[in-house]
Amino acid sequence: MSLRTPMARALGNGSAKSGVAHWTSQRVSAIALALLALWFVTALLRMPDFAYATVLAWIGAPVNAVLLVLLTGTAALHAFLGVQVVIEDYVHGGLKVGALLLAAFLHVVVAAFGIFAVLRIAFAGVGPLTV
């Protein structure tokens, strides 16, 4: 038996004692994504044209490649955090764990392919990419 009131026991814990960390992660990733998206749109608007060679050269620039990798990773993380909340709220029973694992796996795969594409272009230099 505890002498603490129910309010004192619940204060600051949230339902699973970890809600604040998830909320903070979503907000931090949203701010990072907004800043990276602002850079991305500005950079695209400043490009002289969208010819294949121009875009490859733009991606190949070290600063652009690093920021594109950050944009890809941040977008995948932010998307996963949002999908995770939806799954936790609306999927019940034994499907919840499987859905969370599948969502995590798919987001990691998408991020890995995106980052690989940027790095392949950045390290290959300007020129046609063949499979």
pLDDT at 1: 62
pTM of the complete model? 0.80
Q: Which of 118, 6, 12 lies closest to 59 in space, CA to CA?
A: 118
Q: Which of 12-16, 48-52, 108-112, 119-123 has the lowest mean pLDDT?
A: 12-16
Measured CA to CA, the distance from residue 115 to residue 117 in angstroms comes to 5
**Residue 71, exposed/middle/buried by CB under 10 A (0-12, 13-18, 19+)?**
buried
Tokens 């009131």 locate to 5
Please tell me the least confidently modeled range out of 12-21, 27-36, 43-52, 105-114: 12-21
Task: Yes or no: say if 54 and 48 are a contact pair by the CB < 8 Å rule.
Answer: yes
- CA 71/CA 40 separation, integer angstroms: 9
pLDDT in tens, 34-91: 999 999 999 999 999 999 999 999 999 999 999 999 999 999 999 999 999 999 999 9
In terms of CATH architecture, what is 19-124?
Up-down Bundle (1.20)
Q: What is the pLDDT of residue 39?
A: 98
